[in-house]
Structure 1
Amino acid sequence: MTSIAGPAYGTYLDFASPLSQPRADRIVRYLAATRPTTVVDIGCGWGELLLQLLAACPDASGVGVDTDQPDVTRGRANAQERGLADRVTFIEGPGADHSTPADVVMCIGASHAYGDIPTALRALKPLVNPGGRLLFAEGFWEHRPSPAELERLWPDASADEYPELAGLVDMTADAGYQPLWIEAVSRDEWDHFESGHLADQAHWLLEHGDTETAPDVRERYESHRTRWLTGTRELFGFAYLTLGIPA
């Protein structure tokens, strides 16, 4: 068997989180209505939502921070292609190291950059300018998982790892934010994201299934597919919370 590089990631996805374009359009309109001049995206991936918000706010500049070098490179290329390169900076590094405040701060599925959800909410608050907005998106349990359900998830999964949606919103209020808009993604958005997440591996295996790299790729692919279809699909939600800071 020959050895060949493994599959890419995210080439079948527009966003690096479960998010449809209609929902993204609504979020962008809602945030753009505040007329931000500065935007920061912590754990931005390739920063698709950041770029769409900047396109809607011609007076704004933005910063995206992520540890994944290929994602950062993709974000820079997209910004250049759309004529936004002079208004956005993509930084490869830990999101928790960023300390410059902005009118709009986004943290989408990236609370782990600070350790856990409550710690992230506390750390992000000083980054939001008075009167600004935090778009905070995180996972939550659709219902508290049973021991049997936890066994079908990731290693060391715990029922205390995530709250239910009401508990997630309460965490933001307890941290001093005003919840302004609460929305959870649909099953279609989740299925699109998970299928897109797996598609690079699936197509790669179709072409390179007899190479030395294939067994490892196939194990990752089948493990993730099984965890999604038998574990998280009926259990794990994802919410986009638009949060306000008093002026």
Structure 2
Amino acid sequence: MDRQEISAIAHGDHPIAAPISDESVGVLLDRALRRSDERVLDLGCGAGTWLIRALADRPGLRAVGVDTDASAIARAEKAATAAGVADRVVFHAMDAKDFTAPNRFDLVLSVGAAHAFGGLLPTLDAAAGHLASDGGLLVGDGFWERPPGRATLDAGFEAEEYDDLATTVDRITDRGWVPIYGHVSTRQEWDDYEWSWTGTLSRWALEHPEHPDSDQALRAAAEHRTDWLHGYRGTFGFLTLCLRRAHDR
């Protein structure tokens, strides 16, 4: 069982692959989308949850989703059909860095996918290349709630991987972006996400003892839970921002 398969199972009860509640997703989309007829691109769309949510509430919206995980794209296409929005969204199984389109987009999303571009700032640059002149960006990435200690670093992080909240926002504004709205994931959102991730994967393993990967899944859930509880809980934060480019003011 590879990491993509583990992630697909673990996110079964929390389809937003980030520590963001359903209510917060709705608020962020409302702030980011200014019209009901916009063209939206999701770079690193996973199973298409953000796009399907946006399309379901806005019948004039058109969307494109890109993700390197072909199995996630297949799930996205199935979910779009079930939600009745398949005629307004196209999904591509490919590296988001290689995606090109003949037209620019009114909104680009990239939440929890900065690793695909090599970090937050390269993600901003990539998104800018797809935006219409007055377009907006909805981006989500990590930051340090407090300086990481040894336990956090032992959980697989590097100290220079992120900055504190103020420095993170400063780096974004220095790049020529203006925050229109922001959401810092709460402890409750983080706990719900992590308990869902580890619990859903554990439940799957316990309910499928005959599966050849059940023991591996149970170990992966336990290791993740240990890294979270003993490592980065209360240290690693998550910030989602609605941005516009400064020269659009």
Asked if these proteins are the same fold (TM beyond 0.5), I'd say: yes
2:64 matched to which residue of 1? 63
Aligned-residue RMSD, C-alpha: 2.1
2:182 matched to which residue of 1? 182
In the alignment, the residues of structure 2 paired with residue 80 and residue 140 of structure 1 have an alpha-carbon distance, to the nearest angstrom, of: 35
Q: Is the 8 A contact 1:36 1:103 kept in 2?
A: no
1:42 matched to which residue of 2? 43
Q: Is the 8 A contact 2:40 2:62 kept in 1?
A: yes
Q: Is the 8 A contact 2:136 2:242 kept in 1?
A: yes
- Which amino acid in 1 is paired with 2:122? T
1:203 matched to which residue of 2? 203
In the alignment, the residues of structure 1 paired with residue 108 and residue 200 of structure 2 have an alpha-carbon distance, to the nearest angstrom, of: 30
The runs of 5 or more residues in structure 2 that have no matched partner are none
In the alignment, the residues of structure 2 paired with residue 189 and residue 200 of structure 1 have an alpha-carbon distance, to the nearest angstrom, of: 16
Equivalent runs, 1:79-228 vs 2, <5 Å: 79-100=80-101, 101-151=104-154, 153-154=155-156, 157-209=157-209, 212-228=212-228
Identical columns (%): 32
In the alignment, the residues of structure 2 paired with residue 73 and residue 8 of structure 1 have an alpha-carbon distance, to the nearest angstrom, of: 14
Q: 1:89-129 CA deviation, whole Å, 9 max, x = no partner?
A: 11111111123331000000111111122222222212121
CA shift in 2, pair 1:236/1:36, >3 Å: farther
TM-score of the pair, normalised by structure 2: 0.88
Deviation of 1:34 (Å): 4.2
CA shift in 2, pair 1:84/1:38, >3 Å: same
Q: Is the 8 A contact 1:137 1:239 kept in 2?
A: yes
In the alignment, the residues of structure 2 paired with residue 57 and residue 16 of structure 1 have an alpha-carbon distance, to the nearest angstrom, of: 22
What number of residue pairs does the alignment pair up?
240
**2:79 maps to 1:78:** yes
Deviation of 1:212 (Å): 4.9
In the alignment, the residues of structure 1 paired with residue 212 and residue 28 of structure 2 have an alpha-carbon distance, to the nearest angstrom, of: 44
1:15 matched to which residue of 2? 16
- Which amino acid in 2 is paired with 1:121? L
Q: 1:139-187 CA deviation, whole Å, 9 max, x = no partner?
A: 1110121335422x11xx2110011111211121122111111210111
In the alignment, the residues of structure 2 paired with residue 180 and residue 36 of structure 1 have an alpha-carbon distance, to the nearest angstrom, of: 20
Q: Is the 8 A contact 2:187 2:234 kept in 1?
A: no
Moved more, 67-76 or 134-143: 67-76
Q: Greater helix share, 1 or 2?
A: 2
